[in-house]
Amino acid sequence: MTGRPSRPHVSTGLADAALARAGDWLMRHQRAIQTGQWSVVVVYVVLLIVPPFVPLPPRTAHIWNDVTLFSQFVFWGIWWPFVLLSMMLVGRLWCGVLCPEGFVSEKASAYSKGWSTPRWIKWKGWPFVAFACTTVYGQMISVYQYPGPASVLLGFSTVAAIAVAYFYGRNKRIWCRYLCPVSGVFAIMSKLAPVHFQVDRQAWDTWQRSPHVAAAERINCAPLVPIRNMRGASACHMCGRCSGFHGAVTLQRRSPNHEIVHVAGTEVRPVETLLILFGLMGVAAGAFQWGSSPLYVQVKQALATWLIDHGMLWPVTVAPPWWILTNYPEQNDVMTLLDGAVLIGYIVVFAALAGIALGLCVAAASRVLGPWSWPRFHHLVQSLIPLAGCGVFLGLSMTTVTLLRHDGFYLDFAGPLRAALLTGAGLWSLWLGWSIGALHSSNVSRRIVAMLPLVLAATTSAGLFASLFWRL
């Protein structure tokens, strides 16, 4: 964009000025950013396509000499855990600057048929449904262990994003806005980011269009964010295209607590409640746990015995293709129909019980603070975001630790670091709960009593993820 009016400068600290310049740098260097995005796309495609066509790595292979292990380490050891971490540190910068899927969908959208986005795409439940289904399916086909499943899961998502872009919108990221399986999770995690593009509505509304910029000033917000009304970081992709627009958009610091305490309570989104309680705390935690759960083995053995005793052998013997359930006999890794059914059942029941238990705790805290209020309940649920984000990050980073240990890198600090992170996230969540309570009740006694069920919720949440590493 050219002809951008200069930003009205005010006296700020060095950090604030540096952040504002960083936002403007993003705005001025969109072409360089696109070159970097094409580079990410090339690497992404190579690591997605090549590994399925080479033999599975032998036990003596290493990350640095085997393309399959290298691909696994990039996707599941670095990409997913640290992209999630980046959401909590710098907002959705990955989405706007590096994500290959979002980039190619926007490029495809330049040639779109331009159809209006249908109502079914805009359904508000997609962030939860897409995340849950993708997570469960990934476990069914062992997406972290084998290259074929990774290509199917990630490749299908990319092709679907391009297809949606071809039909709907024009130069937009319809897929990212409504259908991306992790968009809802990223939106939740980015609420903790200590930086965001802040919008000054008064400056936006009072800015006078002078003749030399009137024709040039148009913002293409690809993820369809209503910039003027933007109050937080959850929807913003941090691409920087709007930096300085109307002299009203600035990359600034903020308290990591600000959006959850002061914004989330006024923007009630039921799908976020589902994602936090039943998605991140439920489906994701269950997906990490089932493989090491004695209960999973016990249930499977009990059902197998009952089926055999009743002459029903096919659930115990039939093994679907690898793209339905894990099927790698040469690796002694095969799932039968019974295995798959128990896996799905375990995750669903785990998610339901975890979500209900945590929801009841938060509901009790909400009720103590006053008459039942859905907005207050939703607001208090948001206090669990640090624990949810920390737990999922630690769960994803198990693959990082495992792959590095296989290559002789023993991270002895992993255990203490995990404990410290979970403890810190738990205390952070409790502080958020206390701060939110102050907005809903001035009675200190009520707030103290309300913290008791929140402490139980935080302890339960931490315990769900701690059980991945320590037997409780």
Condensed to tens digits (0 to 9), the pLDDT of residues 449-464 reads: 999 999 999 999 999 9
197 phi/psi in degrees, rounded to 5: -85, 110
Over the stretch 433-449, which tens digit does the pLDDT of each residue have?
999 999 999 999 999 99
What pLDDT is recorded for position 216? Answer: 47
- Distance (Å, whole) CA 159 – CA 100: 12
Residue 28 has pLDDT above 90, yes or no: yes
Listed in sequence order, the DSSP H helices in 51-109 are 67-72, 80-90, 93, 100-109
Q: What is the DSSP letter of 6?
A: P
Q: pTM (2 decimals)? A: 0.92
What pLDDT is recorded for position 15? Answer: 82
Side chain identity at residue 171, one-letter code: N
Over the stretch 175-196, which tens digit does the pLDDT of each residue have?
999 999 999 999 999 999 999 9
Pairing of strands 195-199, 327-328: unpaired
Residues 6+ apart with CB under 8 A from 230: 197, 199, 236
Biggest alpha carbon distance in the chain?
85
Residue 3 has pLDDT above 90, yes or no: no
Side chain identity at residue 367, one-letter code: R
Over the stretch 185-224, which tens digit does the pLDDT of each residue have?
999 999 999 999 999 988 888 764 555 544 446 688 999 9
- Which residues make beta-bridge pairs with 250? 198
Over the stretch 369-409, which tens digit does the pLDDT of each residue have?
999 999 999 999 999 999 999 999 999 999 999 999 988 88
Q: What is the DSSP letter of 115?
A: B
Average pLDDT of the residues in 419-428: 96
Average pLDDT of the residues in 229-248: 90
Q: Which of 6-15, 117-126, 135-144 has the lowest mean pLDDT?
A: 6-15
Residue 303 has pLDDT above 60, yes or no: yes
In the chain, domain spans: 28-190, 193-208+215-261, 270-466
- Distance (Å, whole) CA 267 – CA 378: 9
Render the burial of 146-157: b for 16+ CB within 10 Å, e for the rest: bbbbbbbbbeeb
What pLDDT is recorded for position 217? Answer: 60
Percentage of the chain exceeding pLDDT 70: 94
What pLDDT is recorded for position 204? Answer: 82
- Distance (Å, whole) CA 193 – CA 203: 24
Over the stretch 141-164, which tens digit does the pLDDT of each residue have?
999 999 999 999 999 999 999 999
Query: Of residues 220 and 344, which shows the higher confidence score?
Result: 344
Please give the helix or strand (H or E) that residue 272 lies within, else none.
helix 270-274
